[in-house]
Amino acid sequence: MIEFDQVGHRYGERVVLDGIQLTLSQHRVAFVGVNGSGKSTLARMINGLVLPTTGQVRVHGLDPARSGSAVRRRVGFVFTNPDSQIVMPTAGEDVAFSLRRSGLSRSRRAERAAEILAEYGLDGYADHPAHQLSGGQKQLLALCGMLALDPDVLVCDEPTTLLDLPNKRRFLELLATVRQQVVLVTHDLDLLDGFDRVVVLDGGRVAADDTPGPALRHYRKLVE
């Protein structure tokens, strides 16, 4: 469970979030809103990348501001640009790097990395140069790197922005299969039909909070 208790945030004099009160317990939750609405800031608070100016965030009872390391062990984060997350030369080495603190031997880390790649659509790519993968494959690799850590929560901040439509759909289909609670920040409204809940942010506040149909109708009225 993820809780936002009267959360606010400022950048200087600019109010980014104001009085956010939410409890997220559903399996798949999406944040939507225009640029500058506060959705990415709110998502980044889940693993302590951004800390609230006022109020408190709790992830499974832990406050990222006080227990950042413990929270980050439970929360995986996938960014818009996978190149910002890929750090090793090959796809297999990159996933194995995520397992470096797992206690597994080097050979077992390599085996486990190959298993994870195969499970999420990159079978046979363990030795492929990571930065020579296609855009869709790179985003799958970033996802594999996070899932290798077996977190409880997976936060994805506009992960489909750089992908074409087939790869967007493929990525979202994979998110539907993971056991983790998924929090997705997105502008791709047509891909949210299967989500449990959509939170619409406008001007740093919650403007709608419902199942996808009603929430997205409200959002479309806002942008019109």
Per-domain boundaries in the chain: 2-223
Distances (CA, A) of 5 to 17, 20, 22, 52: 12, 7, 7, 10
Task: Quickly tell me which residue has 């062990």 as its tokens.
Answer: 73
Q: Tell me what pLDDT residue 211 has.
A: 96
Q: What is the pTM of this model?
A: 0.90
Task: Quickly tell me which residue has 């997976």 as its tokens.
Answer: 154
- Sign of the CA dihedral 9, 15, 16, 18? positive
Query: Using one digit for the tens of pLDDT, what is the confidence trace for 100-123?
Result: 888 889 899 999 999 999 988 899
Q: Which long-range contacts (CB under 8 A, 24 or more apart) does 15-20 make?
A: 15/204, 16/41, 16/204, 17/41, 17/42, 17/52, 17/204, 17/205, 18/203, 18/204, 18/205, 19/55, 19/205, 20/55, 20/204, 20/205, 20/206
Homologous superfamily in CATH for domain 2-223? P-loop containing nucleotide triphosphate hydrolases (3.40.50.300)
Distances (CA, A) of 196 to 43, 57, 119, 183, 214: 17, 21, 24, 11, 12
Checking phi first, is residue 61 left (phi over 0); if not, alpha (psi -120 to 50) or beta? Answer: left
Distance CA 61, CA 45 (A): 14
Query: Using one digit for the tens of pLDDT, what is the confidence trace for 180-221?
Result: 999 999 998 988 988 999 999 999 999 999 999 999 999 999
Task: Quickly tell me which residue has 């790519």 as its tokens.
Answer: 125
Query: Using one digit for the tens of pLDDT, what is the confidence trace for 1-40?
Result: 999 999 999 988 899 999 999 999 999 999 999 998 999 9
Provide the angle, in degrees to the nearest 10, between the axes of the packed helices 135-147 and 91-98. 30
CB atoms within 10 A of CB 194: 11
At residue 126 the predicted structure's pLDDT band, cuts being 50, 70 and 90, is very high
The whole-number average pLDDT for the span 58-77 is 93
